[in-house]
Amino acid sequence: MDQMFSKWQPTALSLFRFIAGLLLFQYGVAKLLKFPPDSPFAKVELMSLIGAAGAIELILGALLMLGLFTRPVAFILSGEMAFAYFLGHFPKSFYPVINGGTAAILFCFACLYLATSGPGPISVDEMRKKS
């Protein structure tokens, strides 16, 4: 069973990278483009700290989906998520289940993993290596 799953590991890494990027990208879309309109981020001011986070999530989330500059992009996103957690969630409560910071912690460590593991075989970074 271990051999069966391990042969799919590189493809799963690419899929993981894409989905993490897509989820971060959706937060950027919600904060900057106000879509969907009933999102809790629909009232975010563009020239605010949350608006700046939205710009980072939109642009770097798109790069993560493509697998372009994956390691530095993921490292920056990991730091942004740590910053978001400690600035926006931690002051509310020590416990992530109470302070609403579970997603920020998970994104932080998912991006930290991507910064260390790389993009996987299905990525622009890998295509650039071959040319």
Reported as a single tens digit per residue, the pLDDT across 57-86 is 999 999 999 999 999 999 999 999 999 999
Residues in the chain: 131
Tokens of 126: 């890998």
User: What's the pTM?
Assistant: 0.94
Alpha-carbon gap, residue 75 to 112, rounded angstroms? 6
The domain locations on the chain are 2-119
Residue 69 DSSP class: S
Q: In this structure, which amino acid lies at residue 9?
A: Q
Confidence category of residue 55, pLDDT binned at 50, 70, 90? very high
User: pLDDT per residue over 13-37, tens digit each?
Assistant: 999 999 999 999 999 999 999 999 9
pLDDT of residue 6: 94
Gyration radius from the chain CA atoms: 16
